[in-house]
């Protein structure tokens, strides 16, 4: 940001409360704030113990994250003292906050960024309602208690309206009554819930888009109380420019299967390569979150909604880079590759399944046999 940036001036001295701060977008967001807004206040991160580590131990690992290398070129590790871990979980009652922590947040936080969500498209309604819908409701309840809240920024998805052929920057009518959905989740067995799921989802393709759509309406309910903004990214991929080109901490989507291709494991992909794939770099998303928050707070406009996408201005198709894929896989190989990397895009699921027998399954069986013979552990 330039020195005279209005965005930087707005966030100077402000205290943040961030959910999802240890995720892909969250890490990039924290890095951007610490690097470009040095006089920011405290960043309260909602964190839960993980893999036997307390939240204080997890925080100690932050400076070791590759995303912070550029930040540490000009700052000491003291910069991380601005980060305050708060024990909690969006899936728990009252966000799992202790009364003391809740009071601290209510008295000190000025900006809330809610990015925590479950992204598993195969999940049933129970976990997605618990985290995406009820988690957002609990965050909004906490926001109501904050004495000096300037803006609430909600990370949604461009696909909450994927059942429409054209979606505008507004919140569309809820696909179902939220209380009814919560009641079903609270009373039905897993089997019964799975049986009625298609009827509940209606035109939504999965529980993720459905519950994220309902979550937007939780934000709408508070838009008259304090400024709120909803940002809807498409498929978030590695960074474009910041903190360094190509940084990622995600194995989702194209990043995952290109990693698999680099290892020599993924050798065929079913791909309609002429179709537009709406990918958006994570640093573009982070910039939009911060600017959207500043704009909503400045205008005190109630609710604003923004899409964050690439297909209308810079549409991407895999056919644009298909000739260069294998060249890049060979130029930047992974040390852990198990086979010579070579990726081929196939135009149908049928061809993919057929070719996978020869280039995925048979080689995997052969490799496992060799590992067993040599005393290794089958993969």
The full DSSP string for 88-116 is --TTSGGGG--HHHHHHHHHH--EEEE--
Residues 230 and 376 in one domain: no
CB-neighbour burial class of residue 379 (10 A; exposed 0-12, middle 13-18, buried 19+) = exposed
Residues 271 and 303 in one domain: no
Decide if 242 is inside a domain.
no
Decide if 243 is inside a domain.
no
Residue 140 has what pLDDT?
98
**pTM of the predicted model as reported, rounded to 2 decimal places:** 0.92
Residues 158 and 171 in one domain: yes
Decide if 138 is inside a domain.
yes
Residues 295 and 330 in one domain: no
Decide if 41 is inside a domain.
yes
Residues 181 and 104 in one domain: yes
List, for residues 208-222, the tens digit of each pLDDT value.
999 999 999 999 999
Decide if 283 is inside a domain.
yes
Residues 18 and 92 in one domain: yes
Residues 368 and 262 in one domain: yes
Write the Ramachandran bin of 202: left for phi over 0, alpha for psi from -120 to 50, otherwise beta: left
List, for residues 241-253, the tens digit of each pLDDT value.
999 999 999 888 8
- Dist CA 320 CA 23 (whole Å): 30
Please tell me whether residue 1 adopts helix, strand or coil conformation. coil
Decide if 57 is inside a domain.
yes
Residue 79 has what pLDDT?
94
List, for residues 165-206, the tens digit of each pLDDT value.
999 999 999 999 999 999 999 999 999 999 999 999 999 999
Residue 50 has what pLDDT?
80
Residue 332 has what pLDDT?
87
Residue 3 has what pLDDT?
65
Write the Ramachandran bin of 193: left for phi over 0, alpha for psi from -120 to 50, otherwise beta: alpha
Residue 358 sits in which domain range? 254-276+318-379
Residues 215 and 160 in one domain: yes
Residue 271 DSSP label: -
Residue 379 has what pLDDT?
79
What's the average model confidence in pLDDT over 4-13?
93
Q: Rounded to the nearest 10 degrees, how much is the dihedral formed by the CA atoms of 14, 18, 23, 29?
A: -20
Number of structural domains (the chain) is 2
- Dist CA 227 CA 217 (whole Å): 14
Mean pLDDT, the chain, integer: 93
pLDDT over threshold 90, residue 296:
yes
Q: Which two tokens stand for residue 177?
A: 């009554």
Residue 55 has what pLDDT?
86
Residues 87 and 163 in one domain: yes
Q: What is the CA 299 to chain-centroid distance, rounded?
A: 27
What percent of the chain shows pLDDT beyond 90?
Answer: 82
- Dist CA 142 CA 112 (whole Å): 10
What's the average model confidence in pLDDT over 83-88?
95
Closest Cα to residue 214, out of 269, 177, 258? Answer: 177
CB-neighbour burial class of residue 151 (10 A; exposed 0-12, middle 13-18, buried 19+) = buried
What's the average model confidence in pLDDT over 354-374?
91
The CA-to-CA distance between both ends of the chain, in Å, stands at 46
pLDDT over threshold 80, residue 268:
yes
What's the average model confidence in pLDDT over 145-172?
96
What's the average model confidence in pLDDT over 85-91?
95
Residue 2 has what pLDDT?
64
What's the average model confidence in pLDDT over 93-98?
95
Residues 81 and 179 in one domain: yes
What's the average model confidence in pLDDT over 279-283?
96
The length of the chain in residues reads 379
What's the average model confidence in pLDDT over 344-369?
92
Residues 222 and 334 in one domain: no
Residue 1 has what pLDDT?
60
Decide if 241 is inside a domain.
no
Residue 317 DSSP label: B
Helix axis angle for 134-145 and 99-108, nearest 10°, is 60
What's the average model confidence in pLDDT over 263-271?
92
Specify the range with the lowest mean pLDDT, choosing from 56-60, 92-96, 139-143: 56-60
The residue behind tokens 């027998």 is 357
Decide if 95 is inside a domain.
yes
Residue 57 has what pLDDT?
83
What percent of the chain shows pLDDT beyond 70?
Answer: 99
List, for residues 330-343, the tens digit of each pLDDT value.
998 888 888 889 99
Task: Say which residue, 336 or 71, is predicted with more confidence.
Answer: 71
Residues 53 and 190 in one domain: yes
Identify the CATH number of the domain in which residue 62 sits.
Answer: 3.40.50.720
* Alpha helix positions (H), the chain: 6-11, 24-36, 55-60, 69-74, 99-108, 125-128, 134-145, 178-187, 190-201, 207-220, 254-262, 282-299, 322-331, 349-356, 362-373
């Amino acid at each position: 940001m330039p020195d005279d940036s209005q965005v930087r001036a707005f966030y100077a001295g402000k205290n943040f409360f961030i959910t999802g701060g240890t995720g892909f977008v969250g890490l990039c967001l924290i890095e951007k704030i610490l690097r470009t807004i040095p006089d920011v206040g405290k960043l309260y991160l909602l964190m839960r113990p993980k893999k036997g580590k307390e939240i204080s131990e997890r925080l100690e690992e932050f400076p070791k994250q590759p995303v912070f290398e550029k930040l540490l070129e000009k700052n000491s590790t003291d910069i991380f003292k601005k980060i305050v871990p708060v024990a909690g979980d969006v899936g728990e009652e009252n966000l799992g906050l202790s009364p003391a922590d809740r009071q601290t947040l209510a008295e000190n936080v000025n900006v809330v960024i809610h990015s925590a969500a479950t992204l598993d498209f195969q999940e049933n309604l129970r976990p997605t309602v618990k985290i995406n819908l009820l988690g957002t409701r609990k965050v909004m309840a906490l926001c109501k208690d904050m004495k000096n809240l300037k803006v609430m920024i909600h990370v949604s998805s461009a696909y909450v309206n994927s059942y429409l052929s054209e979606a505008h920057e507004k919140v569309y009518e809820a696909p179902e009554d939220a209380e009814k959905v919560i009641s079903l989740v609270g009373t039905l067995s897993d089997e019964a819930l799975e049986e009625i799921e298609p009827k509940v989802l209606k035109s939504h393709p999965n529980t993720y888009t459905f519950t994220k759509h309902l979550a937007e309406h939780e934000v709408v309910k508070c838009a008259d109380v304090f400024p709120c903004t909803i940002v809807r990214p498409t498929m978030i991929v590695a960074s474009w420019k910041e903190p360094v080109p190509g940084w990622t901490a995600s194995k989702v989507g194209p990043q995952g299967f290109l990693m698999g291709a680099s290892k020599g494991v993924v050798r065929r992909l079913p791909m309609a390569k002429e179709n537009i794939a709406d990918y958006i770099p994570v640093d573009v998303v982070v910039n939009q979150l911060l600017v959207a928050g500043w704009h909503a707070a400045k205008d005190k406009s109630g609710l604003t909604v923004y899409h964050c996408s690439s297909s209308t201005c810079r549409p991407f198709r895999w056919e644009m880079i298909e000739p260069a894929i294998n060249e890049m896989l060979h130029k930047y190989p992974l040390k852990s590759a198990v086979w010579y990397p070579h990726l081929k895009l196939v135009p149908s699921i049928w061809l993919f399944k057929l070719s996978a027998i020869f280039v995925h399954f048979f080689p995997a069986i052969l490799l496992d046999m060799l590992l067993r013979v040599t005393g290794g552990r089958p993969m």
